[in-house]
Amino acid sequence: MHDLQLLKDALIAGDWKTAAAATQAAIAGGVAPLAIVTGHLMPAMDEVGRLFECEEYFVPEMLLSARAMKASMEILRPLLASTGAKPAGRVVIGTVKGDLHDIGKNLVAAMLEGGGFEVIDLGADVAPELFVETVAARQAELVALSALLTVTMGWMRTTIDALTAAGLRHKVKIMVGGAPITQQYADAIGADGYTDNASSAVALARKLVAA
Amino acid sequence: MSSLSQWLAGGLLIADGAWGTELQARGLEPGAPPDTWNLTYPDRVAEVARAYVDAGSQVVLTNTFRANAIAMKGDLEAINRAGVEISRRAAAARALVFASIGPTGKLLMAGEIAPEQARAAFDAQARQLADAGADALLAETMSDIEEARLAVAAAKDTGLPVVVSFAFDSGKQKDRTMMGATPEAVAAAMVAAGADAIGANCGAGVEFAAAICRRLRAACGLPIWIKPNAGLPSLEGTSVKYHTTAAFFASHFAALRDAGASFIGACCGSTPDFIRALVKARCGSN
């Protein structure tokens, strides 16, 4: 037993140095990279999500955990690739046009990255055409749209419509989030999923990619 | 005696209500930062300021919440100057002008910006607002203590009184900021930073404001600034609705006053009617 509990604890505590060291130690001890991801990283991520949802964790704790997750994934990714294991999925993420807010979007991107996704971050104030181009060029499986303002959330629908018009809608799953967004709104604009926080976005992304 | 305590010598002061949602009601287009209207539609911005002064606001803010170099682009010096001048004209001798400084919109701890960048942006905005003749500076809707420290330090360098206000909208009791800071932690850090008054704005609605006010008051000897929003909006079709009414909002006046508030106003979703209702509640409660 290569102190994998230590890894999980370090991820939950947001201690990236210990997380990286424990990941190295596990690999050196012969634990399969994929087993580290499914057996330790993912459960740790789920625990962080639970702590956030029951409001024991706030944004800083979640950021630190995401950073620790990323440190561990950076060590594991090349090994996973060499064994033919694929990333959890390829996500194109961005804040929709007219909206410069990116704290929520960055949190979701960090958590998705920590969760093993390949994340293509288009930034904030992203035009529908750029989402369309990127999805086509990079063959993404998932699009994550963010909006903080009630006045910009309409661009989510416009972006989804643009993906449909480009013939790409059936190739991607679309998830939406942001302060003014609700499940009802997500349904109304034809999104595939919605969550109200960054940690549960990872579980949603996994579910959408698997569907 | 500091100017702040002179202003408060006659009792608590009524501040203003929301700007963003009022400007939207006057045609502010989706996604455009309201601050640019100081240059493009100064008459409409002046209408909002005047409406609040007419309603009885003794302190009006400025339409400069985002006018720092990290949150937006443009001729920020002109936007900040015009913002103060518009509110000043509307206030005339009837109200004080507290100039609004909002957060950068970036997370320091995520490394999105360096502390020096935030400080430089706050320094520039604070100086522009002070040079334009603001009576005091207000760093508002803060969630990160570190960022607020930088804003307060920049504001203090101008020599004007400094109010710093946080958005408590997270946690089970809605008594934490997005970054998890409690009223006690905020009070201790902001007293140390040299703020002249501290407070809570926006947040989760007026129902939660008295408890936060009481805790801020218990944690420090500074005057307390309270400006809750009109609840969290919901979407009905394509229009955004705030559910708190002016009457319901003002029904909390006595609770806020008894909790030790020195400034009472309203935030997102409120209108001049909210301020009229607060003024009425104060008269009724004397």
Q: Class of B3-285 per CATH?
A: alpha beta
**A176: CB partners within 8 A, 6+ apart:** A144, A145, A146, A147, A156, A185, A186, A189, A191, A193, A194
Q: Which of A16, A59, A99, A197 to mutate to test the interface with B (most CBs of B within 10 A)?
A: A59
Q: Which of B238, B239, B241 to mutate to test the interface with A (most CBs of A within 10 A)?
A: B238
Task: Give the pLDDT confidence score for residue A98 in this predicted structure.
Answer: 84
Residue burial A46-80, b: 16+ Cβ < 10 Å; e: rest:
bbbbebbeeeebbbbbbbbbbbbbbbbbebbbeeb
Calculate mean pLDDT across residues B50-70.
Answer: 98
Partner residue opposite B31 with nearest CB, options A59, A151, A180? A151
Task: Please determine, for residue B36, whether its predicted confidence score (pLDDT) is greater than 70.
Answer: yes
pLDDT digits (tens, 9 = 90+) for B73-124: 999 999 999 999 999 999 999 999 999 999 999 999 888 899 999 999 999 9
pLDDT digits (tens, 9 = 90+) for A79-99: 988 887 777 899 999 999 988
Q: Measured between beta carbons, which residues in chain A are less than 8 angstroms from residue B30? A: 98, 149, 151-152, 154-155
3-state helix, strand, coil in chain A (%, to 5): 60, 10, 30
Calculate mean pLDDT across residues B258-277.
Answer: 96
Q: Measured between beta carbons, which residues in chain A are less than 8 angstroms from residue B235? A: 150, 153, 180, 182, 184-185
Task: Please determine, for residue B285, whether its predicted confidence score (pLDDT) is greater than 70.
Answer: no
Partner residue opposite B30 with nearest CB, options A61, A152, A184? A152
Return the CATH fold of A4-82: 1.10.1240
Partner residue opposite B179 with nearest CB, options A58, A99, A150? A58
Task: Give the pLDDT confidence score for residue A84 in this predicted structure.
Answer: 77
A2 pLDDT band, cuts 50/70/90, is low
B64 pLDDT band, cuts 50/70/90, is very high
The closest of B93, B97, B141, B101 to B118, measured between CA atoms, is B101
B231 pLDDT band, cuts 50/70/90, is confident
Q: What angle do CA B166, B168, B171 make, to 5 degrees?
A: 150
- Does residue A11 contact residue A23 with C-beta atoms inside 8 Å? no
3-class SS of residue A136: helix
A151 pLDDT band, cuts 50/70/90, is confident
Place of tokens 């369309």: A132
B144 or B3, higher pLDDT: B144
Task: Give the pLDDT confidence score for residue B33 in this predicted structure.
Answer: 81
- Say yes or no for a CB contact (<8 Å) between A60 and B171: no
- Does residue B206 contact residue B169 with C-beta atoms inside 8 Å? no
Give the CB-side neighbour count of residue B54, counting CA atoms within 13 A: 10
Task: Give the pLDDT confidence score for residue A49 in this predicted structure.
Answer: 85
Calculate mean pLDDT across residues A116-142.
Answer: 95
Residue percentage of chain B with pLDDT more than 70: 97
Task: Give the pLDDT confidence score for residue B171 in this predicted structure.
Answer: 87
Task: Please determine, for residue B153, whether its predicted confidence score (pLDDT) is greater than 90.
Answer: yes
Q: Name the segment(s) of chain A with CATH classification 3.40.50.280.
A: 90-210
Task: Give the pLDDT confidence score for residue B125 in this predicted structure.
Answer: 98
Task: Please determine, for residue B275, whether its predicted confidence score (pLDDT) is greater than 80.
Answer: yes
Domain boundaries, chain B: 3-285
pLDDT digits (tens, 9 = 90+) for B105-117: 999 988 889 999 9
Q: Measured between beta carbons, which residues in chain B are less than 8 angstroms from residue A151? A: 24, 28-31
pLDDT digits (tens, 9 = 90+) for B199-212: 999 988 899 999 99
Domain A90-210 has CATH 1.10.1510.10: no
pLDDT digits (tens, 9 = 90+) for A17-36: 999 999 999 999 999 998 99
| Pairwise CA distance, residues B198 & A107, whole Å | 28
Task: Please determine, for residue B154, whether its predicted confidence score (pLDDT) is greater than 80.
Answer: yes
DSSP letter at B174 equals T
Task: Give the pLDDT confidence score for residue A211 in this predicted structure.
Answer: 83
pLDDT digits (tens, 9 = 90+) for A52-74: 888 889 989 988 998 899 899 99
pLDDT digits (tens, 9 = 90+) for B163-202: 999 999 998 889 999 999 999 999 999 999 999 999 999 9
The closest of B15, B96, B81, B70 to B42, measured between CA atoms, is B81
Task: Give the pLDDT confidence score for residue B268 in this predicted structure.
Answer: 87
